[in-house]
Structure 1
Amino acid sequence: MSQYRKVSWKRNIRRIPDTVLSKLREIEQGSGIVPVCTKRVAASDLQMGMYEHLGLSLQGDDSSFLGSVLPPTDSGVFSTRNRHGWEIRRTDLPMISKDIYLGERPIYGDWSNGSFSLWQQRQVYQTEEYGPTDYSIEIELLRRVDDGYLFKFALDCTLDRDVNGFDVELLFCLNLLQENTGSCGIESSAMSREDYIATTLVDWEIFPPGSFDRFLAKAKSNILDNDPKTNRIIEERVNEFRRLSPDRYILGKGGFNRYIGAVLPNGVVSFENIRYGNALYVLYEDWEEVSQRSRRELLQGTNANYERIPHAEGWVERFRKAVREKRA
Structure 2
Amino acid sequence: MKFKQNHFRKTPEKLLFELSQIKSNTVIVSTKISVSTEDLTDGKYKKWNINSIKDLDDKSVIDFIPSKKEGPTSKINLVGKTVILRDLPKEDKSWNITGPNFGDYSKGTHTATITKPVFQKEYELPRDIHLSIKQIDREQSKDEIQLQIWIQEPLHRDEKNFHDDLLFSLNLLQESTGNCGIISTSQAENDKLIEEKQKDWEFLPVGTGNIRSKILQKLGNKKEIPESSQERIDYFTNPPFEIVGHINGINSFERYIGLELPNGIIILENFNYGNAIFVFKKDFDSFSKMTRGELIKRKSSDTERIPHKKNWKINLETVLGFNRK
TM-score by length of 1: 0.80
Query: How far apart are the structure 1 equivalents of 2:70 and 2:181?
Result: 18
CA 1:309–1:180: 2 relative to 1, 3 Å? same
Alignment-derived partner of residue 99 in structure 1: 94
**Cα 1:275–1:267 shift into 2, 3 Å:** same
Show the counterpart of 1:152.
Answer: 148
User: 1:321 maps to which residue?
Assistant: 318
Are 1:33 and 2:30 counterparts? no
**What is the rounded CA distance, in whole Å, between the counterparts of 2:57 and 2:177 in structure 1?**
16
Equivalent pairs, count:
308
Q: Report the CA distance shift for 1:99/1:75 in structure 2 as closer, same or farther (over 3 A).
A: same
Counterpart residue number, 1:237: 235
Residue 321 of structure 1, CA deviation: 0.8
Look up the match of 1:3: none
Distance in 2, matches of 1:56 and 1:235, equals 30
Change (3 A) 1:49 1:11: farther
Q: Deviations over 1:75-100 (max 9, x none)?
A: 11111111111122111122111113
Aligned partners of 1:9 and 1:182 also within 8 Å? yes
Structure 2 CA distance for aligned equivalents of residues 76 and 53 of structure 1: 14
Deviations 1:94-137 (A, max 9, x none): 21111133x31123334344322122111111122111111122
SS at 2:197 equivalent = helix
Q: Share of identical aligned residues, percent? A: 28
AA aligned to 1:124 is: V
Runs of 4+ in 1 over 4 A off after TM superposition: 42-52, 55-60, 62-66
Structure 1 runs not aligned, ≥5 long: 1-7
* Structure 1 residue 250 corresponds to structure 2 residue 247: yes
8 Å Cα contact 1:56-1:66 kept in structure 2: no
2:306 corresponds to which residue? 309
Structure with greater helix share of residues: 1
Partner residue, 1:176: 172
Equivalent residue letter for 1:250: I
What is the distance in 2 between the residues matched to 1:287 and 1:59? 44
Secondary structure of 2:218's partner? Answer: coil
| Residue type of the alignment partner of 2:163 | D
* 1:48-59 correspondence to structure 2 within 5 Å: 51=45, 53-55=47-49
Amino acid at match of 2:168: F
1 CA distance for matches of 2:315 and 2:237?
A: 16
In structure 1, the residue matched to 2:117 is 123
Q: Distance in 1 between matches of 2:232 and 2:99?
A: 29
Structure 2 stretches lacking a partner, 5+ long? none
- Among 289, 293, 298, the alignment partner of 2:290 is 293
Residue 153 of structure 1 and its aligned partner are, at CA, apart by 1.0
In the alignment, the residues of structure 2 paired with residue 239 and residue 45 of structure 1 have an alpha-carbon distance, to the nearest angstrom, of 43
Partner SS state of residue 259, structure 2: strand
Q: CA contact under 8 A between 1:96 and 1:304: conserved in structure 2?
A: no
8 Å Cα contact 1:270-1:281 kept in structure 2: yes
Match of 2:278 among 278, 281, 284: 281
Q: Say whether residues 1:84 and 2:61 are aligned partners.
A: no
State the shift of 1:138 in Å. 1.2
CA distance in 1, matches of 2:244, 2:88: 34
Q: Does 1:114 align with 2:112?
A: no
Task: Give, in angstroms, the shift of residue 158 of structure 1.
Answer: 1.9
Distance 1:178 1:239 in 2: 39
